[in-house]
Amino acid sequence: MGILKLLKKDVMNIKILGTLLLLIISAEVVAQNTVNYNLYNYSLNLINPAFAGRERNTQLLINSRMQWTGVPDAPRTNTFALTIPFKNNLGIGLNVISDKIFVFNQTQVSLDISYQLQLSDEQQLLFGIKAQGNIYSGAIDQIKIATQNDAFFAEAVNKFSPNFSVGAAIVHEDYTLHAVIKGVLFDNRYKDMQGLKKKNRLDIAFGGLYNLPINDRFTLVPSILVNIAPGAPLAFDLNNTLKINDKHQVGLSYSWNNSLQLNGLIGISKWLKMGYGYTHYTNEISSYQSGSHELMLLCNMDTIF
């Protein structure tokens, strides 16, 4: 059953979908620059291009996120990311992200270029730039809403939007600090929308982690990620991950006023790791869906070829 059919149902469904659409529309304004991941700690270059090639081996990541289980036409995100280290401390990343969000469709293709500067035997300074193109469309002009003459619903979306991001990080054997300015170019489609034109357009994220060894087998890794995006409330995640023998990981995360996440990573072989994440929402949509699921495969291509 599609979303347009559900809109014609009873008042309760209209209230539910109204809440969901409000969240999606807010997200869509900045979706060209931000993708929601549960397992982002295992693929930081998707957030910050400075991490492209950081592992010094060629890695292939395949990720699929199924959001808001139980809601018809709910968001689905599929990600393909290839990172390659090069000589002279250079790294390259190629990312393809496909989003389907109700009536919206988006494909983001990006290229990351990073450089690692060795500050000492234990510390590196990373720089990176991400050049990206977003192709997105949506028949939002067909959605029936109560508000008349809403600028966002005035016409269907069918557009290509280029953009770029810049990031930096300090990596030590004990800790990591990182920051990125995402989507330096603001989409002109939204520049005249009421409420956005007077807000800060700067879209940034920053965070860090610290390694706390417990013994030879276990290491505790607390981390934090803060997102500041135009048209969206301040968001930050608190994470705590337990590393086991530097091969397996299990973690618990809390997104402020939004959700709880449980995630894990299993080292299946020298070349393959598998990750899973589950999100339980604590916000206003929590009673209308059954959470989100995320699956990830991480391949070390250097051990295959």
User: For residue 61, what is the enclosing H or E element?
Assistant: strand 59-66
Please state, in angstroms and rounded to a whole number, the distance separating the CA atoms of residues 116 and 126: 5
Instruction: Give the domain ranges of the chain.
Output: 3-303
Average pLDDT over residues 276-296: 89
Asked if pLDDT for residue 5 goes beyond 50, the answer is: no
Whole-number Cα distances in Å, 173 to 90, 210, 239:
20, 9, 19
pLDDT at 215: 95
Whats the size of the chain, residue-wise?
305
Question: Could you give the CA distance from residue 96 to residue 133 in angstroms, rounded to a whole number?
Answer: 10
Diameter over CA atoms, the chain: 65
Give the pTM. 0.79
Q: What CATH number does domain 3-303 carry, 2.60.120.1570, 3.40.50.970, 3.40.50.1100, 2.40.160.40?
A: 2.40.160.40
DSSP class of residue 173 equals: S
Please state, in angstroms and rounded to a whole number, the distance separating the CA atoms of residues 63 and 75: 14
Q: Is residue 96 a contact partner of residue 109, using CB atoms and an 8 Å limit?
A: yes
Q: What is the structure's pLDDT at 204?
A: 92
What is the DSSP-derived secondary structure letter of residue 288?
G
Rounded (5°) CA angle 252-255-257: 135
Instruction: Check residue 7 and give its pLDDT.
Output: 42
- Residue 274 φ/ψ, nearest 5 degrees: -125, 135
DSSP bridge partners of 292: 279
Give the pLDDT band of residue 186 (cuts 50, 70, 90): low
Report the chain's C-alpha Rg in angstroms: 20
**With bands split at pLDDT 50, 70 and 90, how would you rate the model's confidence at 169?**
very high
257: alpha, beta or left, given left = phi > 0 and alpha = psi -120 to 50?
A: left
- CA-CA-CA-CA torsion sign (45, 272, 68, 151): positive
| Selected residue with higher pLDDT from 37 and 117 | 117
Integer CA distances (angstroms), 73 to 142, 241, 278, 281, in order:
16, 32, 19, 18
Q: What are the angstrom distances between the C-alpha of 181 and each of 50, 178, 204?
A: 11, 11, 4
